[in-house]
Amino acid sequence: MDESAYFRILKNLGLIHDAATEKQASSVYSKYRFYVKYLVKAQKSVVLWGAISILLIFLVANLREDKDINQLCYFLMFAVSAKTVFFNIPVVIFYDRTLRMLIVECTHCEHVFKCDEAWYCPHCKEKNDFSDPFQYYIYSLRYSFLHKCKNCHKSPIAIQCPECHNPINLIDGETKEFAWWARLTSDTRILPVPPGHIERVIPIDEEIKRKKLEKENNPPTMLEKFKERIRSRTSSVIDLHKAKVELLEEAGLIEDPEERERVKEIIYTATEEIEEEQGI
């Protein structure tokens, strides 16, 4: 029996809730919030039933005399362990996979990105980064920018698109101003795009779509992104120096000192590499 058939059985048993049957779960963020609350519940159930299974296994291993109660202990141990393995764990797997498959598409430039990427909270400025393997499974979905911040438990109103830097709504209603938007840690733009300014015009045609696909499979590093931003501002040595100063000023606004130094270091390296390329 393949996996999806098993998930269908769990759905029919009422153990899995599907957003497809919910009228209100139409946008990515409403779907996300629908699934994530069940994921958290399912994770807690696995911990609870897993702990009971271990206790029962421990109890059975320490049984001494042959009494009627022993059989009951064996029965309970098998029943509880089977429930955990065949019902509780698959439910977590289902919600985890479903959530990780959801992608956010920018309403301005059609750029797409994943919902478990590291991000900065606009309310408390803390970084939500759960890329190490343990935290990845426990926290990266629970504390996605589509849900809430691990530190202050508030939800962002919008996320800044890492490509065109415009806000993408994460609630029904207005996005408010720049200070209210969450930002991916891979996004290099820390200051708002000036009104009327278009960072890059992106005509939507086949060529662009193909390039976008290529880029998704091979995303540029932060260093490459900064190099691109410096190049777009540079046509002379004076411009290069100016671009460097401007970007360093922008980086100076990062609150986390470690992150600030890291970004500044990248800007220095990017400028040096461009200087070398241009033979300055």
Contact set with Zn ion (CB under 5 A): 106, 108-109, 111, 121, 123-124, 149, 151-152, 161, 163-164
For Zn ion, the closer of residues 41 and 200 by Cβ is 200
Long-range contacts of 235-241, Cβ-Cβ distance < 8 Å, separation of 24 or more: 237/280, 240/271, 240/274, 240/275, 240/278, 240/280
| Least distance to Zn ion, CB of residue 181, Å | 12
> At CB < 8 A and 24+ separation, what contacts does 256-261 make?
256/125, 256/127, 259/127, 259/185
User: Phi and psi (nearest 5°) for 97?
Assistant: -65, -45
Q: How far is the CB of 99 from Zn ion (least distance, A)?
A: 20
Separation CA 136–CA 102 (nearest Å)? 16
Those residues whose C-beta lies under 8 Å from the C-beta of residue 190, and which sit 6 or more positions away, are 183, 250, 251, 253, 254
Q: Which is nearer to Zn ion, 111 or 225 (CB)?
A: 111
Instruction: Take residue 33 and report the two structure tokens written for it.
Output: 């919030």
Dihedral sign, Cα of residue 206, residue 146, residue 177, residue 256: negative
Nearer to Zn ion (CB atom), residue 16 or residue 161: 161
* Nearest approach, Cβ of residue 208 and Zn ion (Å): 13
CB closer to Zn ion out of 66 and 205: 205
Question: Smallest distance from the beta carbon of 26 to Zn ion, in angstroms?
Answer: 21
| CB closer to Zn ion out of 34 and 180 | 180
Least distance in angstroms from the C-beta of 113 to Zn ion: 9
Strands 103-105 and 112-114: antiparallel
Residue number, 65 or 205, with CB nearest to Zn ion: 205
Say how far apart CA 75 and CA 63 lie, in whole Å: 13
The residue (of 72 and 103) whose beta carbon lies closer to Zn ion is: 103
Least gap, CB of 177 to Zn ion (angstroms)? 17
- Closest to Zn ion by CB, 80 or 159: 159
Report in angstroms how near the CB of residue 105 gets to Zn ion at its nearest. Answer: 9
Closest approach, Cβ 212 to Zn ion, in A, equals 11
Q: Are 36 and 147 in contact (CB under 8 A)?
A: yes
CA distances from residue 134 to 130, 138, 185, 187 in whole angstroms, order as listed: 8, 7, 20, 24
Amino acid sitting at position 161:
C
* Spatial separation of the C-alpha atoms in residues 48 and 88, rounded to whole Å: 10
